[in-house]
Amino acid sequence: MKQEHTRNFCVLSHIDHGKSTLADRFLEITKTIDLRKMQPQYLDRMALERERGITIKMQPVRMSWKDYTLNLIDTPGHVDFSYEVSRSLAAVEGAILLVDATEGIQAQTIANLEMAQKEGLTIISVINKIDVANHEQIEKTKKELINLLKIAEKNIFLVSAKTGEGIEELIEKVIERVPMPAYAKASAFAKATVDKSAGESKMRALIFDSEYDFYKGVIAYIRMVDGEIKNKDKIYLIGSKTPAEAIEVGYFKPELTPCDKLKTGEIGYVATGLKDIEKCRVGDTVTVYSLKFKVDSLKGYQQPQSMVFASFYPIDPNDYNQLRDGLGKLKLNDASLRFETESLSGLGRGFRCGFLGMLHLEIVSERLKRDYGLDLIITSPSVVYKDTEEPWVELEIITPEKYLGQINKLLSNFPGKFKAPKWLTKEKIVIKFEGPLDIILQGFYDKLKTAGSGYASMSYKLMGYKKADLVNLDILINQEKIEAFSKIVRKQDAYKIAKKMTKILKENIPPQQFAFPIQAAVSGKIIARETKKALRKDVIAGLYGGDYTRKRKLLEKQKKGKKKLAKFGKITIPSEVFLKVLKS
């Protein structure tokens, strides 16, 4: 297929605006999937995606329409998976910006649009769900898009992804407006300086995603930038300096479909045979082995910054290696996941992991439990502090004007500052608020949904670090510091958190043969304390009547024994206690 007849594009939207349903209609109309095999959310391959009704992983698919090859990349809509979106943008020339007519523009609509514009993509504005929206809602959404993109109304397309209305016309518009693949795609993520006279002899491809196959090794998802790659070619990964063999090349239908070769501008995959997943990284450049010192690597991707951190420990210590392997394979398919080894008293060996948000953390933990059968202890989510500085984010909230008061009241409960609001239309406003990142860890998203009656949406981005009044809160059980429960907190919140943690521990740690203290300390000073009473054995149960002096001696002996145990005894904290405390 010639470049002139190839179109590479993605679909961007806020969550639940109909992106996966639109992809389903594309697959049906182009006859990429047999109607007998068709099912809703066809490109959402994970069970978790189907259960939750959200897209977590980007998914490429190659479709044919008339004389054209259409390479679509379906992308996630939730803010936690924006890195998936950013990687897909480097592999395409155009993007459909999909907006739900009944909700209008939402926060992630704007965030995704800004990334696509930075990438220099052609934007096609589409209003979805016209089958359920009324005329007034459709007109409001049109005005929002006109104001946001500064475009004419005639450049906005109306569709129903559910019924298929307007979809064929949209496909034609993609062919008409999305540019053919450039000889070398110049972008913020993958800039190429190409010697066109070198022609097909200059071969480079950008790895934008990957997965692991037991038989084929690491399978790299690639965008061909220059030249061509053929089956059985000797290849070279420039960044990791790793030689390999293209044991199979092909494209996505969406299943892996082998072919003889991939050419400039095409999207496909190469099975490398590599078993070491660290050798094949997202953002690396693939070339043929003979050119390993003759071509420059592509710019690749800017590494995402982890927002939220938590530690994962196997309940069964024998599962440590399985957890390590599971995290490694998930990272291959999730380039935004970070992890490093860690060891804590009472928990043993585990991993400190970094995530883009709370949903990202939740999805990773669920996949580890489902796919690898792991029972895990997960520490309380936290952020990374630097000396006495904490990370701050800029929140961007879009809400109907009538909920402005409730949302401002919610935000006023958190440290931070408001920025000048911006009116999207007469009825809808954009609120910007700068505050500490740990706002996100305090259930803010759910609170926002309540304050905005479900109509408010949010996105956020990291700004940097600012000074904060922070202290180390330590938990001591029988005078022994338990690292797993230590945390950095704001000084003003330290006492409240200390009281809560010591109380929970008292309620959940099993009683011992002796009484012991549960304490919370800041800078060595105890600020909260609970005492766990001893498990008392009735040592005088066998005595009937007689002299009370004998009973008293037995009780005194028991008391002395308990004092000795308390002095030398070590408290063993069951794994279920860690689970209860760290989830609280």
Domain harbouring 212, CATH code: 2.40.30.10
Count: domains in the chain: 5
* Cα distance between residue 299 and residue 279, in whole Å: 18
Is residue 330 included in any domain, yes or no? yes
Is 42's pLDDT higher than 60?
Answer: no
Beta strands in 404-456 (DSSP E): 417-423, 428-436
Considering 16-30, 39-53, 230-244, the range whose residues carry the highest mean pLDDT is 230-244
| Judgement on whether residues 417 and 554 belong to the same structural domain of the protein | no
pLDDT of residue 385: 87
Is residue 573 included in any domain, yes or no? yes
| Judgement on whether residues 102 and 146 belong to the same structural domain of the protein | yes
| Judgement on whether residues 151 and 214 belong to the same structural domain of the protein | no
| Judgement on whether residues 515 and 578 belong to the same structural domain of the protein | yes
User: How confident is the model over 487-501, as pLDDT tens digits?
Assistant: 888 898 899 999 998
| Judgement on whether residues 211 and 277 belong to the same structural domain of the protein | yes
Give the chain's mean pLDDT: 84
- Predicted confidence band of residue 185 (pLDDT cuts 50, 70, 90): low
Question: End of a domain among 378, 403, 430?
Answer: 378
User: How confident is the model over 135-148, as pLDDT tens digits?
Assistant: 999 999 999 999 99
* Residues 365-386, mean pLDDT to the nearest whole number: 86
**How many CB atoms lie under 10 A from the CB of residue 104?**
28
Range of the domain at 231: 196-291
| Judgement on whether residues 315 and 429 belong to the same structural domain of the protein | no
- Predicted confidence band of residue 48 (pLDDT cuts 50, 70, 90): low
pLDDT of residue 187: 41
**142 within 8 A of 113, measured Cβ to Cβ:** no
**Six-digit token string for 482:** 């338990």
| Judgement on whether residues 80 and 202 belong to the same structural domain of the protein | no
pLDDT-wise least confident of 261-270, 459-468, 566-575 = 566-575
Is residue 296 included in any domain, yes or no? no
Is residue 182 included in any domain, yes or no? no
pLDDT of residue 40: 61
* Cα distance between residue 74 and residue 87, in whole Å: 12
Higher local confidence (pLDDT), 187 or 341: 341
| Judgement on whether residues 41 and 135 belong to the same structural domain of the protein | yes
**129 within 8 A of 161, measured Cβ to Cβ:** yes
Question: End of a domain among 233, 266, 291?
Answer: 291
- Predicted confidence band of residue 307 (pLDDT cuts 50, 70, 90): confident
pLDDT of residue 199: 43
User: How confident is the model over 509-536, as pLDDT tens digits?
Assistant: 888 878 889 999 998 999 999 998 887 6
Is 539's pLDDT higher than 60?
Answer: no
Is 256's pLDDT higher than 70?
Answer: yes
| Judgement on whether residues 408 and 482 belong to the same structural domain of the protein | no
CATH of the domain at 511: 3.30.70.2570
CATH of the domain at 435: 3.30.70.240
pLDDT of residue 417: 92
Is residue 302 included in any domain, yes or no? no
* Residues 418-444, mean pLDDT to the nearest whole number: 87
User: How confident is the model over 229-246, as pLDDT tens digits?
Assistant: 999 999 999 988 999 999
Q: Cα 148 to the chain's mean position, in Å?
A: 27
| Helix then strand then coil, % of the chain, to nearest 5 | 35, 30, 35
| Judgement on whether residues 265 and 337 belong to the same structural domain of the protein | no
* Cα distance between residue 344 and residue 326, in whole Å: 20
pLDDT of residue 33: 80
The percentage of residues in the chain with a pLDDT greater than 90, rounded to a whole number, is 40
- Predicted confidence band of residue 462 (pLDDT cuts 50, 70, 90): confident
Which secondary structure element, helix H or strand E, spans residue 568, and what is its range?
helix 548-568
Higher local confidence (pLDDT), 301 or 432: 432
| Judgement on whether residues 463 and 478 belong to the same structural domain of the protein | no
Higher local confidence (pLDDT), 504 or 47: 504
**254 within 8 A of 210, measured Cβ to Cβ:** no
**Six-digit token string for 444:** 């803010």
Is residue 454 included in any domain, yes or no? yes
Question: Assign residue 563 a region: left if phi > 0, alpha if psi is -120 to 50, beta otherwise?
Answer: alpha
Higher local confidence (pLDDT), 269 or 345: 269
Is residue 540 included in any domain, yes or no? yes
pLDDT of residue 194: 41
| Judgement on whether residues 21 and 158 belong to the same structural domain of the protein | yes
CATH of the domain at 171: 3.40.50.300
User: How confident is the model over 394-411, as pLDDT tens digits?
Assistant: 999 999 999 999 999 999
pLDDT of residue 196: 43
The percentage of residues in the chain with a pLDDT greater than 70, rounded to a whole number, is 85
Is 559's pLDDT higher than 90?
Answer: no
**Six-digit token string for 340:** 């490093």
Question: End of a domain among 227, 256, 291?
Answer: 291
Considering 76-80, 330-334, 338-342, the range whose residues carry the highest mean pLDDT is 338-342
User: How confident is the model over 112-124, as pLDDT tens digits?
Assistant: 898 899 889 999 9
**194 within 8 A of 202, measured Cβ to Cβ:** yes
- Predicted confidence band of residue 562 (pLDDT cuts 50, 70, 90): very low
